[in-house]
Amino acid sequence: MTQRRSLRIRSRDAASWSVVQIAVSSAMRLGSNLILTRLLAPEAFGLIGLAMTVVTALTLLSDIGIGRSIVREPDGDTTPFLQAAWRAKVLRGSVIAVGVLIAAALLWLLGPWLAPADSVYADPTLPGLIAVTAFGALTQGLGSTCAELASRRMQTGRIVLVQLLGQSVTILATLTAAWLIGSVWAIAIGMTIGSAFALLQTFTMFPGPRMAWNADPVLAARLWSFGRWIILSSSLTFLQTNGDKLALAALLGPTAFGHYVIGLIWLEAGKMLYSTMMGRIAYPAFSEVALSRPADLPGLYRRLQRLGDAYLLAAFLILHFGASTLIGLLYTDAYADAGHFLGLAAFALLASRFDLSSELLISLGDSRAIAFASTIRTVSLGLALPLGWYLGGVDGLILGSMLHSLAQTPFMLWKLKRHLPALNLSEDIAIVIAILTMVVVLPQI
């Protein structure tokens, strides 16, 4: 009973801090975005968005779930394990940085010959922007694993304060550079300064053991055993979450693509609260309950799912129906088309509903199921993008990319039922039907 109250109190505190972070972080991010749109041209946001897509690709292609291993492993809070995990982080960050530089060089050499004329890929600034992001990948890899240890201990207050401080430094540096030079390089400068500051924070703001190069083969094998399926899942996740950008960057010019990226900023603000709550509350809670009292998992899952459903539905309705008004009120006329893109992209909120089931399966150690689900989503994306383009052009392509993840739902529900026979899935099935109905009806209104 004491343990249950302890988890409830820690989950409540984590939720409170997460809400504070999302509110403050979103206000800072969106506020700085509004200022930047008055200092920079629309194409700047498209260029930096595509540059970040490249580093995101390599980050996910090498993701072995180091942070998740620290949270879920019984000895994940011990010094040897944290040091072994840090070694894996450093190696991974170095590989990502080298990969980013290679990608930038290839684009610089081949872009003028292969990129569609007037597309984002053909912009001569893009290779340099991509190369700069290598610094952020390297510093992230060098960061102390004491930051992940804080997640295991659900020290959300400390995590939130550290991240908000880092975000403040990044925004201040970016706005100052934008005011001084007025080009897309201002964003690159801000990100570089923010990355260096974030690295310093991991070693000064989180208590824990001193980092050291622990090459213990047993611990390395354990990290790899869990993470090998995460690599496949994360690699496919990149294609699922960035397939729209990769395709639209070839179909749209820098200005129109910049409008799309502006719309996605608001969508990500809407998704951030849900994903943060799931990562900071649901996953640690599921992991702890799975170890101590697995019979309580169905009830915990259902309570968290209902809270998530209420939020996602409200966020979707606000962004879908209010997108044009929102963009019109806050941006200049040069960004008016972003409202149309945002209204379409809002459907991704509905598709995010089943992300919680992924957190539960990972906490149960079923990383293979996550990898298989990612395969389903990737195949469905490969079908949804061309089909959407054929049926509805750019708008159809966007809708296909936002909703393709629903294809994994039958498999995810089946796996949940196998792990948790007591879980009643009738509510989940009814919500799937409701989402599909909304997809058909609402775009016609």
Query: Dihedral (C-alpha) 368, 369, 375, 380: value to the nearest 10 degrees?
Result: 180
> pTM for the full model?
0.71
Contact 194, 135 (CB under 8 A): no
Contact 82, 70 (CB under 8 A): yes
Q: Burial letters for 255-288: b for 16+ Cβ neighbours within 10 Å, e otherwise?
A: bbbbbbbbbbbbbebbbbbbebbbbbbbbbbbbb
Alpha-carbon distance of 286 to 297, in angstroms, equals: 7
Mean pLDDT in runs of 10 for the chain (445 residues)? 54 69 81 89 88 86 81 86 93 92 92 79 90 93 92 83 93 95 93 95 92 89 78 70 81 85 86 74 75 81 87 91 89 87 91 84 79 84 88 86 88 90 88 84 65
Classify the phi-psi angles of 293: left when phi > 0, otherwise alpha if psi is within -120 to 50, otherwise beta.
Answer: beta
Residue among 210, 176, 211, 212 nearest 192 (CA) = 176
Alpha-carbon distance of 156 to 149, in angstroms, equals: 11
Distances from the Cα of 130 to the Cα of 28, 189, 336, angstroms: 25, 12, 28
Residues with Cβ within 8 Å of 228's Cβ and at least 6 positions away in sequence, in order, are: 64, 367
pLDDT of residue 79: 92
Alpha-carbon distance of 331 to 314, in angstroms, equals: 23
Q: Which phi and psi (to 5°) does residue 116 adopt?
A: -60, 140
Contact 244, 404 (CB under 8 A): no
One-letter identity of residue 76? G
Contact 189, 178 (CB under 8 A): no
End-to-end CA distance of the chain: 51
Residue among 382, 320, 380, 377 nearest 354 (CA) = 377
Classify the phi-psi angles of 209: left when phi > 0, otherwise alpha if psi is within -120 to 50, otherwise beta.
Answer: beta
Residue among 354, 326, 356 nearest 340 (CA) = 326
Residues with Cβ within 8 Å of 291's Cβ and at least 6 positions away in sequence, in order, are: 74
pLDDT of residue 191: 94
Distances from the Cα of 107 to the Cα of 114, 121, 420, angstroms: 9, 8, 48
Alpha-carbon distance of 425 to 370, in angstroms, equals: 19
Render 352-371 in DSSP notation, one character per residue.
Answer: GGGHHHHHHHHHTT-HHHHH
| Domain extents in the chain | 2-444
CA 168, 174, 176 angle in degrees (round to 5)? 100
Contact 311, 273 (CB under 8 A): yes
Residue position matching structure tokens 């640690």: 284
CA 283 vs. chain centroid, Å, equals: 15
CA 423, 425, 431 angle in degrees (round to 5)? 140
**For the chain, what is the largest distance between any 2 Cα atoms, rounded to a whole number of angstroms?**
67
pLDDT of residue 444: 56
